[in-house]
Amino acid sequence: MAAVESTGTPRTAARIVKPPSMVELAAQALRRMIIGGDLLPGDRVVENQLTKELGISRPPLREALRVLELEGLIRQTPHRGAVVTPLTLHDVYEIVTLRRELERMAIGLAVPVRDPSRLPRCRSALDRMAAAADAGERAELSEAAFEFHVSVIGLSGHRRLEDAYRSLQLQMLLCMALNRRARAQRAETMAEDVQRHRRLLEVIEKGDPAAVLNELEHHGDRTFLHDIAEALDEGTPEAREWLAGERAEDRT
């Protein structure tokens, strides 16, 4: 005999939410350190120091490092330990140019906004950014900023385009880490960071695709290139030509 008599009405299955493991928590903490710029591309990951900072033993920390290695954020070398994956100028060239093309396609589809029900997702990410700025949480601000940009792509209603954009996340996080540090060196406050993103949403809501693309063009990529490109390698011919063009256009 069944323990519960069926009424013919479909039931919503109860979900058991598994709490995050120590490995998952450690991986999340390490991602935040990278996103927030506490660990920059090329920096050594010192296990002794991290076990103390994170309050965990070596086994879960090493598992977390393996997770981040699979994600491309960490590079491990036998007998030399782990480092945050270094960036080359060619890496930046590929990441930035692909990001721009995906954004251009998304804005062409998304603006004017055809489905206003998609806008609250953008506002929610912006509110999360503002809360992080008020709390002085730079890593949380960086995570929320990324989610804001993904939500802007989501305005297009093109799921595969959004998936493609999100798939750049891991590479973009490394660029963003350098970008955050560069902005901090130029004394940009977290409140100003939030305001840049708020201005972008305001332009989107006005419904002019060209104005949105112009805002994105000056949203941060070129400043990022001016601030950190000299710290990278010489780069490939394609990357050098691209960087020279970016700088020439910025001077006009």
Nearest to 51 by CA among 65, 38, 32, 41: 65
- Segments making up each domain of the chain, as ranges: 22-84, 89-251
**pLDDT at 131 (0 to 100):** 98
Instruction: Give residue-wise pLDDT tens across range 138-197.
Output: 888 888 998 999 999 999 999 999 999 988 877 777 877 776 655 555 557 899 999 999
pLDDT score recorded for residue 181: 59
C-alpha to C-alpha distances, 250 to 81, 106, 118, 222, 226, nearest whole angstrom = 40, 24, 33, 8, 10
Q: What is the pLDDT of residue 143?
A: 85
Give the Cβ contact number of residue 14 at 10 Å.
Answer: 5
Name the pTM for this structure.
Answer: 0.76
Task: State which residues of the chain have pLDDT below 50.
Answer: 1-4
Q: What is the Cα–Cα distance from 47 to 53, expressed in whole angstroms?
A: 10
* pLDDT value for 110: 97
Report whether 64 contacts 51 (CB < 8 A).
no
Domain 89-251 has CATH 1.20.120.530: yes
CATH number of 22-84: 1.10.10.10
Q: Is residue 74 classed as helix, strand or coil in its secondary structure?
A: strand
CB under 8 Å to 120, separation ≥6 — which residues? none
